[in-house]
Amino acid sequence: MGLVGPAEDPVDFTPAGEDEQFLYSPTDRPGEPVTAGAPFGPGPDATKHAMPLTTGGLVEQTIAGLQRIPNPPREVRAFIERASRGL
């Protein structure tokens, strides 16, 4: 099954003021990816030394963050041990 379009035809929209004009106007940077500035996806990274978000990199980042939690719950400790062994 392919993509399904809207149930009804789009309604013409006229912004009520400058705020709506700003929110619903086309982008000023059509060539820039939505993820520009984020540490993942295409576009420039937000961090200087961002890890590539491969499955391994994501797991390593998650484990590092969880290890900083003082007195983590039993389930978190079990996940850290399992993930450290390679899931």
Q: Is residue 9 part of a domain?
A: no
Whether 3 is covered by a domain: the verdict is: no
Q: What percent of the chain has pLDDT over 70?
A: 63
Q: What is the pLDDT of residue 1?
A: 53
Structurally, how many domains does the chain consist of? 1
- CB neighbours (10 Å) of residue 53? 13
**Enclosing domain of residue 66:** 18-84
Tens of pLDDT along the chain (87 residues) come to 566 666 666 677 788 899 988 888 887 888 877 777 776 666 655 555 555 566 667 778 888 888 999 999 999 999 988 888 876
Alpha-carbon distance of 38 to 53, in angstroms, equals: 11
Is residue 7 a part of any domain in this protein? no
Structural domain contains residue 52:
yes
Answer yes or no: is 12 within a domain. Answer: no
**Which residues, at least 6 apart from 34, have a Cβ–Cβ distance to it below 8 Å?**
41
2 falls within a domain: no
Residue 4 lies in a domain: no
Quick check: is 75 in a domain?
A: yes
**Whole-number mean pLDDT of the chain?**
76
